[in-house]
Structure 1
Amino acid sequence: MYGQGPSLPAGLTVDGTGLLCVTLLLRLRKAIDGAEAGTVVHVIATDPAAPLDLPAWCHMTGHEYLGPVPGEQPVYAVRLSADARPTRPDRPWHRARD
């Protein structure tokens, strides 16, 4: 069983099974584009770097990392912020230029 963190229901789920975090962040950024602030996103991530990369990405963007979600697969929760800092569409690990 994975995680002992939040069990908040997801408003959106991003499946990154089998993806490296680079590709996962590309998929996540695209999936949340236009989503409402406060939406809880469950990110399914099998990359061993995800428990480090997702909190770092949330810190950089201003979204709230909620932690691992209890269950049978590796799922992490993120709450979208109204005042998140935008990232580049092709490189979501870089902030967008003003």
Structure 2
Amino acid sequence: MLIKKELCFLAIPCLLSAQSVKIQPQIEAQECTHQFRIPAFGDFPCPDVYNCNDGHPHVCNHRRDGSSQRCTNCDDDNEIQFNQDCPHDPHPIRSCPWAQ
């Protein structure tokens, strides 16, 4: 019984301090204007869409080697050029990744 009381005394300050996170409501999210971009090289997700056996549309997202122009502020990739074809091309009907 004493152990439970000691744990409660230790846990209460932790729980109270966790609730005191300060958030500033006036700050709004600012959208990036992508003013500065630099060349980037690496693996990028395949943007092609395919339909599964259940008829749901899915994005392929297979990682492919390529290059892009990346924003220096938010890491947004633009003008992606792939160096290799997707192994799933022409993206036939596949099993649903959401199905269990």
| TM-score (norm: length of structure 2) | 0.23
Task: Tell me which of the two structures has the higher relative contact order, counting C-alpha pairs closer than 8 angstroms and 6 or more residues apart.
Answer: 1
| TM-score (norm: length of structure 1) | 0.24
Larger % of helix: which?
1
Larger % of strand: which?
2
